[in-house]
Amino acid sequence: MAPHGDILFIIKSQYGSFTKAEKKVAGLILNDPAAVMYMSITDLADACQVGETSVFRFCRDLGLKGYQSFKILLAQSVNKDAAAQLPQSRAIEDEDDAAAIVEKLAALHTEALRETSLLNPPSAFVQAVDWMINASKIHFFGAGSSFITALEGYNRFLKIEPKVSVSMDTHMQTMAAALMQPGDAAVIVSYSGSTRDMADIAQLLQRRGVKVICMTRFAKSPVSAAADLVLLCGAQEGPLQSGGVAARISQLYLIDILYHEYFHRDPARFQHNNELTADAAAAKLY
């Protein structure tokens, strides 16, 4: 299947799964995409000091037929309106004042949302909601900071749908996964896709015949390998930025899209449920 969205974002999302030679190719492309756009496959291989077969395999790993298909997508990315391109990194420096922090974080979070929208085709959300609508149970899973997003997803859907559930720790999540039935739906939130507990749960759900929807930064990971569908978040985190707000915003954006697509499947019923839960919550206010 041909990739959807900006090819540079797709390369970044799959970078961790590339071989050593393929990472050389990816690094040069990301560093100077405009120059690569005019290179032959031999030129690119020579510049990266790898064989032409490594470049071809890199293109195939991206879901493309070959190098020429890759160059077409690369040209589309490079030729986009420059005004729409935000800086890839706006690190907060020690000398930044409040105004600079406000501007940099606004740009960072906006870019995270933009990347997320580019990385996911609308058909992915339609498919995910098809499974969720038809499921007898929908369970949200996550560990660490990603559990906060999973909990927010549960809270969001609970206002309209009683069949959703969430468990508070990974031991309880494992037990919940073991009792899910074929055709049920699971939403696993894992930025890295490499958390051992989430990978084990994803594999257990796969064996149980549950439809697994994974929200992650990386298209290829232990969790996504066991998923039926992967939704990619656009925020880029370094090792010292785990649990960053930009990643959370991207994940919540994905949750929000699923919620609205879900709501539109039966608006009369879900609006009624929303009014019931809103009235119940309102009774707790002075």
Both tokens assigned to 45:
């291989």
Q: What is the pLDDT of residue 3?
A: 58
Q: What is the pLDDT of residue 26?
A: 94
- At residue 83, does pLDDT exceed 50? no
pLDDT, mean over the chain: 88
Across the chain, the runs of DSSP E, i.e. the strands, are 138-142, 164-166, 185-189, 211-216, 229-232
The pLDDT of 182-211, averaged and rounded, is 94
Q: What is the pLDDT of residue 91?
A: 65
- At residue 18, does pLDDT exceed 80? yes
Q: What is the pLDDT of residue 88?
A: 42
pLDDT in tens, 117-142: 988 999 999 999 999 999 999 999 99
- At residue 85, does pLDDT exceed 80? no
Both tokens assigned to 18:
């590339």
CA 209 to chain centre: 22
- At residue 176, does pLDDT exceed 80? yes
The pLDDT of 52-61, averaged and rounded, is 92
- At residue 66, does pLDDT exceed 70? yes
